[in-house]
Structure 1
Amino acid sequence: MQVVHTVADLRAALSGRNRTAFVPTMGNLHAGHVSLVELAKRHGSPVVASIFVNPLQFGAGEDFERYPRTLAADCDELAAAGCDLVFAPDASALYPVAQTFKVDVPAALADDLCGAFRPGHFAGVATVVLKLFHLVHPQVAVFGRKDYQQLLVVKEMVRQFNLPIDIVAGATLRAPDGLAMSSRNGYLSETERAQAPQLQRELASLAAALGAGARDFAVLAAAARQRLEGAGWRVDYVEIRDATSLKAATRDTRALVVLAAAWLGHTRLIDNLEVTASAAGDAD
């Protein structure tokens, strides 16, 4: 596996390649990232992974400075997974001048859900992803479903810019107790880690109710929020949305997704579960 740090070396390494599969990451990799690399291998070759902690997507007071940088261990993980090339630039390589041009993500996606609590976050995500796409020129790019809103932002950006890239969504990997794998799980204390699976359990309860035909969306979400807050969580949101657009769900919505973001101590966790169209529809 080759590791490059500059745009020039990346371009040289990819010269003549025409079916590249790309997995963008911020590093501090876990099994979920590895599964995305394995998925990418089924869709293209060579497989390229990027490791870059993107300052544009962090707001004031967020964890940019303390976000774990574990490049050597990450490269070991990627090599074992069959990755062919790692692009690990520093900020000056990816942003040689101040990035005053940014992707303007529509407010309906950018300012809702996580965007309502992280202003500018999705503009930062979209801008770095677009820049990486222009550098790597992938035919396929793989993103995890755990950050469902990010996945939809990237898909819509690719659609609207007519980019010749297939976006492939990888399943959320979970620990045996149900907690979605995340680089930020390492921030949790032992006590918080034991409590953290409650978030997935609440979403699973919502998904089961929806699959059984419940359509009192606001009531269901409010009850889940109340249970989390009663257990000591600081909840940003619990929502039931249209899975295709993240717009407000209606009784006629055929595909639903339940989403939540909440804090345990100083750690913000996100998760989601999709409710299949057949399950939602059969109960109507």
Structure 2
Amino acid sequence: MKVLRNKKTLIDYIERQREMGKKIGFAPTMGALHLGHISLYEAAKKENDEVISSVFVNPTQFNNADDFEKYPQTLEDDLKLLENAGVDAVYVPKAIDIYPEGLKSKHYDFDGLDQEMEGKFRPGHFDGVGTVVEELLRQVQPHNAYFGEKDYQQLAIIKKMVKKTNLPVKIHGVPTLREQSGLALSSRNLRLDEKQRKEAVIIYETLLKAKEWFKSLSPKEIKERVENIFKASNFELEYFTITDEETLKETETFQEGKNYRAFIVAYAGDVRLIDNMHLE
């Protein structure tokens, strides 16, 4: 596996792959990799000749400086995991390779997708995500790029950014990979103690209940039940919402022919955990 540590090395490498007519699949990461990330590369390997990763902790998408400082960085372990997964090359840029003019986000019009859910709690977050992903896609020039459905709002925003900037890449969503307990795999799980990790299954179990209640209750009734579950737990619920899958706007009634998704964000101590589930 090639480790490409600056923009010039990456661009030379990509030019060679393209000259050989290879189809390139790419999944960017912020490191602290787990099997959820590896599932992105397994999906990429099925549809591409060359599979590329990147590891870059992007400062502009953290609206909380403390969160950025605490974000786990495990590059040596990440590289071993990527090599074992059969990834062909990994790009490990420095900030100057992504932000040659300083750490500043572009501003995007995401048609309101960025104003919902995470956007309300993390101002500027999605401009940071859009900026780094657009830059990485321009440098790597993949035919296909892969993102996990665990960050469903992020996936929707990246699809919107690609459409609006006319980037010639197809964006694929990959289903959330879970621990045996149902807890969604996340780099933040590394910060949970053993007790929190066991109790965190409440998030998945609550989503399953919401999926069941969806058949007979209104969004308001489901939300009240979810809030009551968390009041009786050791977890602090930041928000629960059921949205239209396309607009991500919270719904007040269920309508035939529309797709809906439930989203939960909760804190175990100071660790923020997110998850979501398609309702049917």
Q: Which residue of 2 aligns with 1:207?
A: 211
User: Hey, what's the Cα distance between the residues in 2 that align with 1:188 and 1:95?
Assistant: 32
* 1:184-216 alpha-carbon deviations (Å, 9 max, x no partner): 001111111111010110011001221xx2241
Q: Which residue of 1 aligns with 2:237?
A: 235
Could you tell me which amino acid in structure 2 is paired with residue 77 of structure 1?
L
Could you tell me which amino acid in structure 1 is paired with residue 14 of structure 2?
L
Sort the Cα spacing of 1:148 and 1:101 in 2 relative to 1 into closer, same or farther, 3 A: closer
Task: Confirm whether residue 8 of structure 1 aligns to residue 8 of structure 2.
Answer: yes
Sort the Cα spacing of 1:121 and 1:101 in 2 relative to 1 into closer, same or farther, 3 A: closer
Structure 1 residues 120-269: aligned runs within 5 Å: 120-210=124-214, 213-249=215-251, 250-253=253-256, 254-269=258-273
* 1:96-141 alpha-carbon deviations (Å, 9 max, x no partner): 2214450324372223211111111111001100000110011100
Q: Which residue of 2 aligns with 1:47?
A: 51
Deviation at 1:66, TM superposition (A): 1.9
Residue ranges of structure 1 left out of the alignment (5+ in a row): 280-284
Deviation at 1:61, TM superposition (A): 4.1
User: Hey, what's the Cα distance between the residues in 2 that align with 1:251 and 1:231?
Assistant: 28
Deviation at 1:271, TM superposition (A): 0.2
Sort the Cα spacing of 1:215 and 1:157 in 2 relative to 1 into closer, same or farther, 3 A: farther
Is this contact kept in 2: 1:117–1:236, CA < 8 A? no
User: Hey, what's the Cα distance between the residues in 1 that align with 2:77 and 2:264?
Assistant: 30
Residue ranges of structure 2 left out of the alignment (5+ in a row): none
- Report the 3-state secondary structure (helix = DSSP H, G, I; strand = E; otherwise coil) of the residue aligned with 1:14: helix
Deviation at 1:28, TM superposition (A): 0.7
Identity %: 38
Calculate the TM-score normalised by the size of structure 2: 0.93
Calculate the TM-score normalised by the size of structure 1: 0.92
Sort the Cα spacing of 1:219 and 1:196 in 2 relative to 1 into closer, same or farther, 3 A: same
Is this contact kept in 2: 1:105–1:122, CA < 8 A? no
- Report the 3-state secondary structure (helix = DSSP H, G, I; strand = E; otherwise coil) of the residue aligned with 1:146: helix
Is this contact kept in 1: 2:60–2:104, CA < 8 A? no
Could you tell me which amino acid in structure 2 is paired with residue 15 of structure 1?
E
CA RMSD in angstroms, aligned pairs only: 1.5
